[in-house]
Amino acid sequence: MTTITQGHAAQDHAHDSHGPGHGLSRWLFTTNHKDIGTLYLVFALVMLFIGGAMALIIRAELFQPGLQFVNPEFFNQMTSMHALIMVFGMIMPAFVGFANWMIPMMIGAPDMALPRLNNWSFWILPFAGTILLSTLFMEGGGPAAGWTMYPPLVLQSGNSLAFAIFAIHLLGMSSILGAINIIVTVMNMRAPGMTLLKMPMFVWTWLITAYLLILVMPVLAGGVTMLLTDRFFGTSFFQAAGGGDPVLFQHIFWFFGHPEVYIIILPSFGIISQIIPAFSRKPLFGYSSMVYATAGIAFLSCIVWAHHMFTVGMPLAGEMFFMMSTMLIAIPTAVKVFNWTATMWRGSLSFETPMLFAVAFLFLFAIGGFSGVMMAIAPVDFQYHDTYFIVAHFHYVLVPGALFAAIGGAYFWLPKWTGHMYDEKLGKIHFWLSAVSVNILFFPQHFLGLAGMPRRIPDYATQFADWNAVSSIGAFVFGFSQLMFVYIVVKCVRGGAKATAQVWDNPEGLEWTVPSPAPYHTFDEPPLVR
């Protein structure tokens, strides 16, 4: 759904506070929400390719049994760094970029509430990312214990562990500052008449996500700080030899780690809730139920963490509680899927590139959701645990889920951001290449996991060879087809057909109208919210 499509250009100049000069200093000192949104999105795109290159090293090594390209230690560093880069360096900054660009426009605010903080929370990121990547070049290499950084594995890492933990602190700090900014903006800067239950779904999902971030990020910070003192200062929080408990770290990590998954997916839900009504040419079905479902998901995500730990030997009552609460989270998620489907039902549908990504999201995210319900069943999870079935499950949630939503959102709002239309034909080719290859990449991993292939191994038994080869071919096609996305975006930014005020051809009556010369924060009538 296009938000307010006219009149904002005039504001660009009024609210540009680019600091001294132009060129480089404009980007360094900017407090303009659009510039900062662009910086976040460009940073995320760069990190996508760095993290993606690591994934391709992993898949190249796994193409055949035996050790081909890298030694096992470097392989483990790649699996750990790939995850940390993709989660903290790519997908979260991408969604913060969307939030920066769109939230002020969607609620009729002139800018974010705390513009200098906004600048700072972005500029922490490139330095944090550089520190994290630099661990690969230190003696002993980067952390090689998975992104979960479980002790005792991580406590055998070299001195680079201190730098990795520092980088994680910085990345978390950036997220918390961004979340504070979003909450203050949404709570204090809505246009008159824009009550909470009239806000677009994207704003709602980000408001709830921001509260989640502030709740769980400090927990991760505490956990990694305890790791740091165990490794360098002689404490024994997680070392059994000194009276500590490695399972304690799992509780701390997953109390952060599970809500983190929803921190990633809720803004995706928001983007999909904007795209589907626009191309169905209908209001979003069940708006208030979508808001409550989002809040329900966020609440439940904080009480299900130990489903990652069914195999640590917890009491039966604990297993039952975490099994039931995990299954409960399927209900608000299903409400969302049904509402998106109902929005499309008997709508006047058209399938431009953003809609294709949104529909693919719907199908493929549902696959990730169903396999999640399978893994919620505690006795069965003993079989799935730490196999490739888990890898298939969470990649179905995060790649055709979060990444497809981000790409769909980029196509959806590119005309608004640049004033130009992207190349629709190339966009559709990019979609089909991505949608087909992502399934060739991840679907076979379900079979591998059910057959018993463990995750995080550089070598494997020969019976797993065929599906691994298929998966690796899918990975390379998917990875290289994202270069096409960069080409489409650059081509769109540099020029192309001018975007009209009604980019996505909304029928009259559904287009949001803005009384033109009036500035955003003084309308008597708020924009129509579907």
For the chain, what are the domain ranges?
Answer: 30-529
Options 175, 209, 280, 325, the catalytic residue = 175
Taking a C-beta distance cutoff of 8 angstroms, is the pair 113, 188 a contact? Answer: yes
Let me know if 121 is a catalytic residue. no
**CATH 1.20.210.10 is right for the domain spanning 30-529:** yes
Let me know if 446 is a catalytic residue. no
Neighbours of 105 (CB within 10 A): 22
Let me know if 350 is a catalytic residue. no
Let me know if 262 is a catalytic residue. yes
Options 27, 101, 262, 467, the catalytic residue = 262
- State mean pLDDT over 200-224: 97
**Neighbouring C-alpha atoms within 13 Å toward the C-beta of 33:** 25
Let me know if 258 is a catalytic residue. yes
In this prediction, residue 9 carries a pLDDT of 40
- pLDDT at position 12 over 70: no
- pLDDT at position 520 over 60: no
372 pLDDT band (50/70/90 cuts)? very high
Options 27, 40, 147, 206, the catalytic residue = 147
Options 38, 121, 157, 174, the catalytic residue = 174
Let me know if 175 is a catalytic residue. yes
d(CA 340, CA 462): 43
Lowest mean pLDDT among 5-9, 211-215, 298-302, 461-465: 5-9
- What average pLDDT does the chain have? 90
304 pLDDT band (50/70/90 cuts)? very high
- Reference 457, options 61, 56, 68; nearest CA is 61
Let me know if 289 is a catalytic residue. no
Let me know if 455 is a catalytic residue. yes
- State mean pLDDT over 158-184: 95
Options 18, 251, 455, 456, the catalytic residue = 455
The pair of structure tokens assigned to 394 is 């969470």
pLDDT in tens, 342-371: 999 999 999 999 999 999 999 999 999 999
Options 294, 333, 434, 472, the catalytic residue = 333
Options 15, 258, 282, 385, the catalytic residue = 258
Distances (CA, A) of 409 to 358, 363, 393, 403: 9, 17, 23, 10
Give the burial class of 379: count Cβ atoms within 10 A of its Cβ; 0-12 exposed, 13-18 middle, 19 or more buried.
exposed
Options 15, 190, 231, 336, the catalytic residue = 336
The pair of structure tokens assigned to 169 is 């602190």
Let me know if 73 is a catalytic residue. no
Let me know if 307 is a catalytic residue. yes
Let me know if 273 is a catalytic residue. yes
Let me know if 333 is a catalytic residue. yes
Let me know if 174 is a catalytic residue. yes
Share of the chain above pLDDT 90, in %: 85
* 236 φ/ψ angles, rounded to the nearest 5 degrees: -135, 50
61 pLDDT band (50/70/90 cuts)? very high
Look up the pTM and report it. 0.91
Options 15, 33, 282, 308, the catalytic residue = 308
The amino acid present at 85, given as its one-letter code, is: I
Options 273, 294, 301, 343, the catalytic residue = 273
Let me know if 422 is a catalytic residue. no
